[in-house]
C-alpha cells in the first residue's frame, strides 16, 4: 500500500542522492551564490522612496511632518503633562460624563 511505498522511498532516498554529490556527472553545483543584488536593491529602493517623501516629490512632505509633530505633541502632553494640562483634561473628562 501507500505506507509501504513511503517506507521504501525513505530507505532508498540516501542512495538516490549519492549520485549527485560533488564530482558526480549529474551535479549542477556552483562555487558561489549571488546574495548581494536583492539586499542592495531593497536598501537603495527604500532609501530612495524615503528621501523622495522627505523632499516632497512623492507625497506632500509638509503633511506628514505636521502629522508627526501633532503625534509628538500629543505624546508629550499626555505622558509628561504640566499641571494646567492635567487640570484641563480632568475638567473636560468631567464635562464628558456629566448629564446634558
pTM score: 0.34
Residue in the block written with cell 549520485: 19
77 burial (CB, 10 Å; 0-12 / 13-18 / 19+) is middle
Lowest-confidence region among 33-37, 56-60, 92-96: 56-60
Q: In 1-100, at which residue ranges do the beta strands (DSSP E only) sit? A: none
What confidence tier does 57 reach under pLDDT thresholds 50, 70, 90?
A: confident
Q: What is the pLDDT of residue 44?
A: 95
Question: What are the counts of helices (DSSP H) followed by strands (DSSP E) for the chain?
Answer: 4, 0
Residues 13-40: pLDDT tens digits? 555 544 455 555 556 777 777 788 888 9
| Cα distance between residue 31 and residue 25, in whole Å | 16
Q: What is the pLDDT of residue 47?
A: 94
Amino acid at each position: 500500500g501507500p505506507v509501504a511505498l513511503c517506507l521504501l522511498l525513505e530507505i532508498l532516498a540516501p542512495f538516490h542522492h549519492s549520485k549527485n554529490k560533488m564530482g558526480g556527472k549529474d551535479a549542477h553545483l556552483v562555487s558561489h551564490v549571488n546574495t548581494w543584488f536583492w539586499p542592495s536593491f531593497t536598501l537603495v529602493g527604500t532609501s530612495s522612496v524615503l528621501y523622495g517623501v522627505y523632499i516632497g516629490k512623492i507625497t506632500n512632505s509638509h503633511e506628514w511632518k505636521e502629522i508627526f509633530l501633532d503625534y509628538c505633541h500629543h505624546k508629550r502632553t499626555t505622558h509628561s503633562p504640566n499641571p494646567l494640562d492635567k487640570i484641563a483634561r480632568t475638567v473636560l473628562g468631567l464635562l464628558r460624563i456629566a448629564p446634558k
